[in-house]
Amino acid sequence: MNRALPALLLGLAAACAAPLQTSPPIPVPIPTIPADLCAHAQLHVVNTSTQADSVNLNGTWAIVSEPSSDHLIVDYEAEGPPPLPWTVELHDQQGRPVMRFTVDAPDSALVSITENGVAQTATNIADGCSPSTSPSALARSSADPYAGLPSNACGGFHLKVVNDTSSNVTVAINEAWNTTVDAGASQVINQGFSQPQPPVLPWHVVIANADRQSIFTGTVGDTPVDQKLTLSDDAAPVQVPYDLTEGC
């Protein structure tokens, strides 16, 4: 009889009974929120559609916004996006450009991706930050004369709708005001001068095509920067600041 066999079996049993040694969990880095949020920015991307879009910053950093996803991008992450300002480019699943805008301190930009299109709004990242007086905003306005421009000298807030689709569209505001923009035409909706008088800001805008299908839903007028919406048949609506040099 092999006398070493019982000892071997006892050793195996003891090893099986001993608790397994596991590696400690790898901590997930949590960004430290800076005391001065006015010097920082964030980009919130919410995708409730069934398509995946890509979000590119400065041509060097990107994420994929998957369907039913929610991404918060902050510039103070340890291994985060490139330094501010960010040139944000949104591309659809086919790689076609959908939207392009700039984010700088103290911007808090929200991009909403839905089945009906893409909308972008921006607010201050923290109370007390003034986009018209912060150093980064003043530097940006020297290169972009209409960034952050209050439009009061020209009738208040402006929304320009450029209809490059093949059908007329109906623009409804706050479910109480509407207008029609013909195919191939454009129209500027002015807070102070359009008739009948548009509702009080901000405006919840719904644009529908001739088949009454919604092609854009979003909020505008919650910041003083005038906006331009360009509609087309083969791409999602594109929303950018509206340069008043195009006309009041």
Domain boundaries, the chain: 36-130, 141-248
Which residues face 97 on adjacent strands? 91
CA angle 165, 170, 174 (to 5 degrees): 135
* Phi-psi group of 117: left, alpha or beta (phi > 0 → left; psi -120 to 50 → alpha; rest → beta): left
The pLDDT, as a whole number, for residue 183 is 96
Spatial strand order of the sheet with 227-232 comes to 186-190, 158-164, 227-232, 238-241
The DSSP secondary-structure symbol of 116 reads: T
Q: Which residue has the tokens 């007028």?
A: 221
Q: Please count the CA atoms within 13 angstroms of the CA of 38 that sit on its side-chain side.
A: 12
Write the CATH number of the domain with boundaries 141-248: 2.60.40
Q: What is the pLDDT along the chain (248 residues), one digit of tens a residue?
A: 555 555 544 554 554 554 444 445 444 445 565 666 677 888 888 898 999 999 999 999 999 999 988 888 888 776 679 988 899 999 988 888 888 888 888 777 888 888 877 877 766 665 555 444 444 443 444 444 444 454 555 778 889 999 999 999 999 999 889 999 999 999 999 888 888 889 988 899 999 999 988 899 888 887 777 889 999 998 888 888 887 666 66
CATH topology of domain 36-130: Immunoglobulin-like (2.60.40)
CA angle 182, 48, 209 (to 5 degrees): 15
Distance CA 247, CA 21 (A): 71
Does the fold of domain 141-248 match that of domain 36-130? yes
The token duo for 174 is 């706050």
Residue of 99, 52, 58, 92 whose CA lies nearest to 71: 52
Long-range contacts for 73-80 (Cβ within 8 Å, ≥24 apart)?
A: 73/42, 73/43, 73/44, 73/45, 74/31, 74/40, 74/41, 74/42, 74/43, 75/40, 75/41, 75/42, 75/105, 76/31, 76/32, 76/33, 76/34, 76/40, 77/29, 77/31, 78/29, 78/31, 79/29, 80/31
